[in-house]
Every structure is written in C-alpha cells, then in structure tokens.
Amino acid sequence: MKRVLKYLFVVAVVVLAGYGAVKLVSDQLDAYRGKKAEQVLHPFVRGAASAAREQFKQDLTNVPAARLEQEGEELGRKLYPFTKGFVKGQIEAFRADPNKAELQQRLRDAGKDISKDMVAPLSEGVAESSRTLFESLGKVLEGVKKFKEENKDVFDGMSSGMESLQKK
C-alpha cells in the first residue's frame, strides 16, 4: 500500500510541477502556441496516467486482503475527522440555504420512487407469504377442531377422570 501511496504522490508532484511550468510559460504563449503545446503534451500526460493506473491496479491485486483491510481501517480513522467536519459543514450549508425547499422536494420524490420501486414489492411479498402462512395455520386449526370433535368422548372421559382424581 505504501508503494501505491508513493506512486500517487509522485503523480501528484509531476502534475503540480507540470501545472507550475505551464503557469510560468503561459504568460509567454499565445493561443496558437498553446494549442501546439497541448498537442505535444497530451499523449505524454495520457501515457503517464495510464501507466500509473496500471501500476496501481497491479499493486492493489498483489497486496493481501487482510493488509488492505487493516490499512483501510487505519485510513478510515484518519479520515473520520475530515468526514465529520464535511458533514457538519454540509448540515450548516443546508440550514442556511434559502432554496432548501427544492432539495426537500427532490428527497420527497426520491422517497416516493424508493417506496414504489422497492418497498411496495417487498410488502407485497411479505403479504403474500403471510397469506400462505395464515391459510396453512387455518387448515391446521380446522384439523385440530375436527380431531377434537371426532374424539369428544375420549376428551370428556379424560376430563372427568382428572376431576375425580383431583377430588380423591
């Protein structure tokens, strides 16, 4: 993972150095020279980005999953303060936004879509399963009732026997 970070750092330095060089030279260039420079630099930048991407993919596949998980957890701990600050800033910006009704309406519409596309089919499936379950339960209860009616004499005899045992 350190190699990946090293390559990302090198790419960032190269990009910043390139930006600085372009900024220094841009005062000297006119539109024609700028287009010519873009034509010359574009393949180089594209090739460097492609090589960095391939190296990143290769390093990522060669690192064991347990190590990635551990480093991801450590990075997550480091990013938490940033994320917390970001969320707090977003909340304050939302509260201060004079056009927040537009966002609220979009969230309401998204909720309706989620309800229609996900929750409704889920509830239909649950209702269908419940109906099947209750039908089965009803059949079982009918069977018990029928069994009790067919064997009423046995149950009555057992009840009277139990009562006489209790009395004695």
**Each residue of 11-60: pLDDT tens digit?**
888 887 887 787 776 666 677 776 777 787 788 888 888 888 998 888 88
- Do 129 and 100 reside in the same domain of the chain? no
Is 0.85 topped by the overall pTM?
Answer: no
- Do 97 and 121 reside in the same domain of the chain? no
Number of domains in the chain: 2
DSSP string, the chain: -HHHHHHHHHHHHHHHHHHHHHHHHHTT--HHHHHHHHHHHHHHHHHHHHHHHHHHHHHHHHS-HHHHHHHHHHHHHHHHHHHHHHHHHHHHHHHH-TTHHHHHHHHHHHHHHHIIIIIHHHHHHHHHHHHHHHHHHHHHHHHHHHHHHHTHHHHHHHHHHHHHHHH-
Tell me which of 65, 80, 109 is where a domain ends: 109
Structural domain of 159: 117-167
